[in-house]
Amino acid sequence: MSKIGIFYGSTTGTTEDMARRVANKLNVSDADIHDASGITEATVAGYDALILGSSTWGDGELQDDWYDAIKTIKKVDLSHKFVALFGCGDSESYSDTFCDAIGILYEELKGTGCTFCGSVETTDYTFDASIAVVNGKFVGLPLDELNEDGKTDDRIAHWTESLKKEIN
């Protein structure tokens, strides 16, 4: 399997927790889990696959650490790298911007030549709108720890099994 680095932006700790749960399922060591606020080009370059996680804030915005982190990632040649996205959102209170941060990361990186993996069907989710939905699927794994925390473990398990097949 490819060398995987997990990068997360987390203000309240929820996205960090999700990053660690994803890492556990993929057998990624703690040394390969990184806070987005500390991303360097050298760190990013050292991985074959990047798993990026962000919560959605305000009116569908990225978590703050990602604004500089995404610029750093885009400086690296991503043409031979896999990128998988996950994010935390609130499908009840913010159903019109549910997990938009995943969509923002996707939009920022889609012109870099990376290979996206880990899209998710929308059928198991209740929301009104999300820019993270492209061609009828989420471009990454949406998680809602506020309203659907009982589904999180299964969602992570299914998603990581899918990633194992896609990231060789």
Q: How far apart are CA 153 and CA 75, in angstroms?
A: 34
Closest to 120 (Cα-Cα) out of 94, 138, 145? 138
pLDDT for 105-120, tens place per residue? 999 999 999 999 999 9
Q: Domains of the chain, with CATH numbers?
A: 4-166 (3.40.50.360)
Q: Do 87 and 99 contact (CB within 8 A), yes or no?
A: yes
Q: How confident is the model at residue 2 (pLDDT cuts 50, 70, 90)?
A: confident
CA distance to 6, 84, 85, per residue, from 16 (Å):
10, 16, 14
pLDDT for 6-31, tens place per residue? 999 999 999 999 999 999 999 999 99
Q: How far apart are CA 91 and CA 129, in angstroms?
A: 9
Q: How far apart are CA 53 and CA 36, in angstroms?
A: 9
- Helix, strand, or coil (residue 120): strand
pLDDT for 59-78, tens place per residue? 899 999 999 999 999 999 99
Q: How confident is the model at residue 58 (pLDDT cuts 50, 70, 90)?
A: confident
pLDDT at 23: 98
Closest to 16 (Cα-Cα) out of 5, 8, 4, 24? 8
- Has residue 168 got a pLDDT over 90? no
